[in-house]
């Protein structure tokens, strides 16, 4: 067996794990290299940031924020941060390698067909909506920060100027002016505070215009004059824009942030919905559709070891756990009701929220009929017999977005199941 490469054998081997290759690009504070994980063989993009330059420029907090943001926003249309490493002089970002180049390069060759532009815009809005749902505002959306993978799917990158909800001032607005002049919203230029989500929507409008036109909506050699045009929303749509595209862009590039279109209304617009991109079904969706209810004919019996593995410690009295962690992906409860009663109750929940249902004697699968931020939300409930008269039900997310799953559990599932959850006599008793 060949010995694993070491940093001594190969001076370009980073942390005994990544073999650095050719440079892919560079900026003021960072260089990006092609790298290969020698343990898995996976190719990655390695962003290398010099600590001294960053500290001298007072940007260490910005780097920390970028790391925090990228760990939060895992989405098919956002470049994934795989891991962060550091040495005495450098910070290393191991990131998903996106091989298709910048969307900017595609637009530089000329305007896109409307259907092509729509697919990119749909993917952009999906990513931006996901970021906003996590309280993250990108603040520097432009074609140069939109990459394309080998299949032509869009990937948002460069969260160096992003902001969290926590950065809002007491007036509930952001106050740091940033972004690329041609794509920046008038509310950001105004320096009176702005809504990060509305500023991102404006930038999405400029991007859509550029995709369809092949040039910017607000152009002037003099920056002050360009800002005046942006502030007034002074632009014209070329004659080849369809009436629906023209209407949507006018709503996106509304200089008044209060009346500017929201992401929900963008998604509901006729132009956006005109041709929905092909949806590749996830493994979980295929499993849901193929689930025929034949498995597990009777509730599986739990032994003591199962019970311990299902619990957090030995306190099984409530069993309807409230997990403090935001990313909780499962819940359990005990019940003295029959399995058929539990299944009926889950079916009622599914009906009230328009979920599809597949079931067996000891398993129920619920799936949302509409796509969420990360595909269709799917929930599985497994029923286990502790004794003939006591069941444990374990509910977990099978597919989709964790935040949407948590909201479903707190708003729909828990209230609907509350009266069938078993509690011990000690819990029910009141002090004298």
CATH assignment of the domain containing 298: 3.30.310.80
CATH assignment of the domain containing 32: 3.30.200.20
pLDDT of residue 304: 55
Residue 56, both tokens = 């001298």
Q: Which of 226, 254, 273 is the last residue of a domain?
A: 273
Q: Is residue 40 part of a domain?
A: yes
CA–CA separation, 403 vs 287, rounded Å? 22
User: Could you tell me the residue range of the domain that residue 303 belongs to?
Assistant: 283-424
pTM: 0.66
Q: Is residue 7 part of a domain?
A: no
pLDDT of residue 219: 87
Is 364 exposed, middle or buried, given 0-12, 13-18 or 19+ CB atoms closer than 10 A?
buried
Rounded to 10 degrees, the C-alpha dihedral 29/34/36/42 comes to 110
Q: Which of 96, 128, 145 is the last residue of a domain?
A: 96
Q: What is the pLDDT along the chain (432 residues), one digit of tens a residue?
A: 333 444 444 556 888 899 999 998 877 778 899 999 998 999 999 999 988 888 888 888 888 888 888 888 888 999 998 999 988 899 999 999 998 888 988 888 889 999 999 999 999 999 999 998 888 888 889 998 899 998 889 999 887 776 655 554 555 455 555 568 899 989 888 777 788 889 999 999 999 999 999 999 998 889 899 999 999 999 999 999 999 999 999 999 999 999 999 999 999 999 998 875 544 444 455 556 555 554 444 555 555 555 555 554 333 444 444 444 444 556 888 888 888 888 888 989 888 888 888 888 888 888 988 877 777 888 888 888 877 788 888 888 888 888 888 888 888 888 888 888 876 554 554 444
Same domain membership, residue 359 and residue 264: no
Q: Which of 33, 64, 96 is the last residue of a domain?
A: 96
pLDDT of residue 209: 97
Q: Is residue 86 part of a domain?
A: yes
Same domain membership, residue 107 and residue 85: no
Would you say how long the chain is, in residues?
432
* DSSP 8-state assignment for residue 181: G
CA distance readout (Å), 422 to 293, 319, 339:
26, 8, 13
CA–CA separation, 51 vs 367, rounded Å? 47
Q: Is residue 278 part of a domain?
A: no
Residue 43, both tokens = 């190719």
Could you write out the DSSP letters of every residue in 75-117? -TTBPPEEEEEE-SSEEEEEEE--TT-BHHHHHHT-PPPHHHH
pLDDT of residue 305: 52
Catalytic residue among 9, 115, 129, 140: 140
pLDDT of residue 180: 80
The verdict on whether residue 155 carries a ligand-binding annotation is: no
Q: Is residue 166 part of a domain?
A: yes
Per-residue pLDDT of 177-211, as tens digits, reads 556 889 998 988 877 778 888 999 999 999 999 99
CA atoms within 13 A on the CB side of 80: 9
Residue 294 falls in the annotated catalytic set? no
């Amino acid at each position: 067996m060949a010995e694993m490469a070491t940093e001594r054998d190969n001076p370009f081997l980073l942390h005994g794990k990544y073999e650095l290759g050719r440079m892919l690009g560079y900026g003021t504070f960072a260089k990006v290299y092609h790298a290969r994980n020698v343990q898995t063989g996976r190719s990655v993009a390695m962003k290398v940031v010099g600590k001294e330059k960053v500290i001298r420029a007072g940007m260490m907090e910005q780097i920390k924020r970028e790391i925090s943001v990228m760990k939060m926003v895992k989405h098919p249309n956002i470049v994934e941060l795989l891991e962060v490493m550091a040495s005495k002089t450098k910070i290393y970002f191991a990131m998903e390698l996106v091989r298709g180049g910048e969307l900017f390069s595609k637009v530089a060759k000329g305007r896109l067909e409307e259907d092509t532009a729509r697919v990119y815009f749909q993917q952009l809005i999906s990513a931006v909506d996901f970021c906003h749902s996590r309280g993250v505002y990108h603040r520097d959306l432009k074609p140069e920060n939109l990459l394309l993978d080998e299949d032509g799917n869009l990937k948002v990158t460069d969260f160096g100027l992003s902001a969290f909800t926590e950065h809002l001032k007491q007036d509930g607005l952001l106050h740091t002016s940033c972004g690329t002049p041609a794509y920046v919203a008038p509310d950001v230029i105004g320096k009176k505070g702005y809504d990060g989500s509305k500023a991102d929507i404006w930038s999405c409008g400029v991007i859509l215009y550029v995709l369809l036109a092949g040039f910017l909506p607000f152009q002037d050699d003099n920056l002050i004059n360009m800002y005046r045009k942006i502030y007034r929303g002074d632009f014209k749509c070329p004659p080849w824009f369809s009436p629906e595209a023209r209407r949507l862009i006018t709503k996106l590039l509304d200089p008044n942030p209060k009346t500017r279109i929201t992401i929900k209304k963008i998604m509901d617009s006729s132009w956006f919905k005109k041709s929905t991109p092909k949806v590749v079904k996830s493994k979980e969706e295929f499993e849901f559709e193929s689930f025929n209810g034949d498995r597990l004919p009777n509730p599986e019996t739990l032994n003591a070891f199962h019970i311990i593995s299902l619990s957090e410690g030995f306190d099984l009295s409530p069993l309807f756990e409230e997990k403090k962690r935001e990313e909780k992906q499962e819940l359990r409860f005990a019940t003295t009701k029959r399995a058929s009663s539990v299944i009926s109750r889950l079916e009622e929940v599914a009906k009230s929220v328009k979920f599809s249902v597949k079931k067996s004697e000891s398993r129920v699968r619920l799936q949302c009929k509409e796509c969420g931020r990360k595909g269709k939300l799917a929930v599985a409930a497994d029923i286990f017999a502790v004794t003939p008269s006591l069941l444990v039900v374990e509910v977990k997310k099978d597919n989709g977005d964790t935040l949407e799953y948590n909201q479903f559990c707190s708003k729909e599932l828990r209230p609907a199941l509350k009266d069938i959850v078993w509690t011990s006599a000690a819990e029910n008793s009141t002090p004298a």
